[in-house]
Amino acid sequence: MSTAVENIAAAPEEADHNRTERLFAAQQSKALSLRTSTAAERIEKLKRLRQAMFDRTEQIYKACHADFAKPAPEVDITEILPVVMEANHAIRHLKGWMKPERKRPTLLMFGTSAEVRNEPKGVCLIISPWNYPINLSFGPLISALAAGNTVILKPSELTPHCAQLMDEIVRDIFDEDEVAVVQGAVETSQHLLGLPFDHIFFTGSPAVGKIVMRAAAENLTSVTLELGGKSPVIVDKTADIANAAKNLTWGKFANNGQTCIAPDYMYVHTDIVDSFIEAMRKAMTKLYGDQSRMDSNPDYCRIVNDKHYGRVKGLIDDATQRGARVPMGGVPANDDNYIAPTLLTDVDRDSRVLEEEIFGPVLPIVPFTDTDRIIGEINAKPKPLALYVFARDNDFIEKVLTHTSAGGSCVNHSMVQFLHANLPFGGVNNSGLGNSHGHYGFKAFSHERAVVRERFSLSFLFLPPYKGFTRWFIKFATRWLS
CA dihedral 304, 308, 314, 315 (to 10 degrees): -80
Q: What is the pLDDT of residue 336?
A: 86
> Which of 305, 63, 52, 304 has the alpha carbon at shortest distance from 165?
63
Contact call for residues 251 and 233 (beta carbons, < 8 A): no
Q: What is the pLDDT of residue 348?
A: 97
Cα R_g (the chain), whole angstroms: 25
Contact call for residues 74 and 255 (beta carbons, < 8 A): yes
What pTM value is reported for the model?
A: 0.93
Q: What is the pLDDT of residue 14?
A: 47
* Phi-psi region at 11: left, alpha or beta (left = phi > 0; alpha = psi -120 to 50): beta
Catalytic residues: 226, 260
Contact call for residues 86 and 437 (beta carbons, < 8 A): yes
DSSP three-state, residue 33: helix
DSSP three-state, residue 84: helix
* Phi-psi region at 255: left, alpha or beta (left = phi > 0; alpha = psi -120 to 50): left
Q: What is the pLDDT of residue 372?
A: 98
Q: What is the pLDDT of residue 7?
A: 34
The Cα 31–Cα 121 span in angstroms is 9
Q: What is the pLDDT of residue 347?
A: 97
- pLDDT mean for each 10 residues of the chain (482 residues): 36 67 97 97 98 98 96 97 98 98 93 96 98 98 98 97 98 98 95 97 96 97 96 98 97 95 98 97 92 85 93 96 94 82 96 96 98 97 97 98 98 96 96 97 98 91 94 93 83
Q: What is the pLDDT of residue 332?
A: 78
Encode 164-215 in three state secondary structure: HHHHHHHHHHCCCCCEEECCCCHHHHHHHHCCCCCEEEEECCHHHHHHHHHH
